[in-house]
Amino acid sequence: MKNLTDIADETAKTFCGHFDVAIVGGGFGGTTAAMLLARKGFRVALIDVHAVYPTDFRAEKIAGDQISLLRKNDLLETLVSGATPVGTILNTRKGRVVDLAEVEEYGLLYEDMIASLRGALPPSVAFMVGRVSDLRPERDVQHVRLSDGRELSARLIVLATGLGDVLRRKLGIERNMVRDAHSLAFGFNIEHGHDQAFEFSGMSAYGEDAAHRVDYLSVFPIGNVLRANLFAYRDIRDPWVQEMKKNPREAIYSVLPGARRFLGDFTVTSKIDMRVNDLMQTEHFLQDGVVLIGDAFRTSCPAVGTGLSRLLTDVDILCNIYIPDWLSTPGMDRLKLAAYYEDEAKIACDERAADAAEYRRASTIGRGVRWEAHRGQHYLRRQMRNWIRQLSPRKRAA
């Protein structure tokens, strides 16, 4: 039988300490949140199943408002130090140039994004490798238990577990399907079929016919590899999807024949990664002592590239405004935490992402005169803007 000293020893070994914030999930959301909070001097525990984030087909580009959010929070340089800048993108449709966009974007595999971020975590962050098996949130102190028996406590839990559902369900937080299998994403490496290299950093080929249900193919550099992402609104049992795996070039040219002019007889030089993307949102998320960020709160469609924008907005407002405020007063009840979910910037960003996902799908697969006219006008407007830009004196002088 164990005596009291043995029991006390075991408890000391399994109790890992008390923190201001325990972040469960060390993907993009959890790691950036840990970084911002630790820089502000808070005691942070970051817990993830994997010591090194495994190979995973997720976001492979940093773009748009993500750049300004990262820059604002002094995260951009860390993140893109190993990334490949994308400066110009040739946008095409039906074998014609729509426009040549000058952009600030960066190509980088998801696992490398997380490695860069984790590598820059301040030493004060207690990074623990293990699976969190149980959470016991209360109004003041939250308890976190790992499956190997370790335990810790914190004033607040940030749940950043992405698509993982176990902990959310244990807390009574339900996931509501907005649309099952909303889109399909494919990722693969290519070598293009023309002799000379691309003269632009990236290219996109947009869907040519609503019947094909293909949104766009995007080709961009990651290191010295040309990476391709293709987004479609198809059923996974669709024969074309099987063809994409067996004979990707012909499958792509059967739906994007105009892309041949720009990519020639390209070859696929890697396996084809494929993801089915469900649009989900959570219910009953307002709980004592725990807040949700990123995909744990809501998922987005990869075709519109808003997952990281939403996640960075969550992290930005949570770590810069709400958590410092919450920790400065006693208690951590749900009434206090409601302010984060009611934040105008968060709501607007989540709604923008949801609207964009619906719009892209509808405007890609919409049939009939109205949608045909809409697509025609959209690309014509972009082409005209591009011509005007090219004719402008500043551009001609350059």
Cα separation of 320 and 36, whole Å? 8
Q: Does 94 bind ligand FAD (CB under 6 A)?
A: no
Cα separation of 208 and 22, whole Å? 48
- Of the pair 165, 288, the CB lying nearest ligand FAD is at 165
Residue from 84, 161, 183, 287 touching ligand FAD (CB under 6 A): that is 161
Residue from 19, 21, 26, 365 touching ligand FAD (CB under 6 A): that is 26
Q: Does 178 bind ligand FAD (CB under 6 A)?
A: no
- Of the pair 282, 383, the CB lying nearest ligand FAD is at 282
The amino acid occupying position 273 is D
CB of 302 vs ligand FAD, minimal distance in Å: 3
Contact indicator for 93, 208 with CB cutoff of 8 Å:
yes
Which residue do the tokens 């590239």 mark?
Answer: 305
Residue from 25, 137, 248, 289 touching ligand FAD (CB under 6 A): that is 25
Extract long-range pairs of 221-226: CB within 8 Å, 24+ residues apart: 221/84, 221/86, 221/107, 222/60, 222/83, 222/84, 222/107, 222/108, 222/109, 223/84, 225/189, 225/269, 226/189, 226/190, 226/191, 226/192, 226/198
Question: Given the rule CB under 6 A, which of 13-21, 53-61, 319-327, 364-372 is the region that contacts ligand FAD?
Answer: 53-61
Q: What single DSSP character describes residue 301?
A: -
Residue from 28, 216, 266, 340 touching ligand FAD (CB under 6 A): that is 28
Residue from 48, 105, 215, 316 touching ligand FAD (CB under 6 A): that is 48
Q: E strands along the chain, which residues?
A: 15-24, 44-48, 61-62, 84-93, 96-107, 126-129, 132-136, 142-146, 151-159, 174-191, 202-206, 214-222, 225-232, 267-268, 273-283, 290-292
Q: Does 160 bind ligand FAD (CB under 6 A)?
A: yes
CB of 299 vs ligand FAD, minimal distance in Å: 7
CB of 232 vs ligand FAD, minimal distance in Å: 12
What does the block give as tokens for 225? 């590899």
Q: Does 207 bind ligand FAD (CB under 6 A)?
A: no
Q: Does 162 bind ligand FAD (CB under 6 A)?
A: yes
Residue from 39, 43, 131, 334 touching ligand FAD (CB under 6 A): that is 131
SS3 199: coil
Q: Does 47 bind ligand FAD (CB under 6 A)?
A: yes
Cα separation of 103 and 106, whole Å? 10
Q: Does 314 bind ligand FAD (CB under 6 A)?
A: no
Find the DSSP H helices in 163-320: 166-170, 239-246, 248-255, 260-263, 307-317
Residue from 84, 91, 306, 364 touching ligand FAD (CB under 6 A): that is 306
Q: Does 340 bind ligand FAD (CB under 6 A)?
A: no
Residue nearest to ligand FAD (CB): 27
Interacting residues with ligand FAD (CB under 6 A)? 24-30, 47-50, 53, 57-59, 61, 131-132, 160-162, 164, 167, 185, 275, 277, 294-296, 300, 302, 305-309, 311
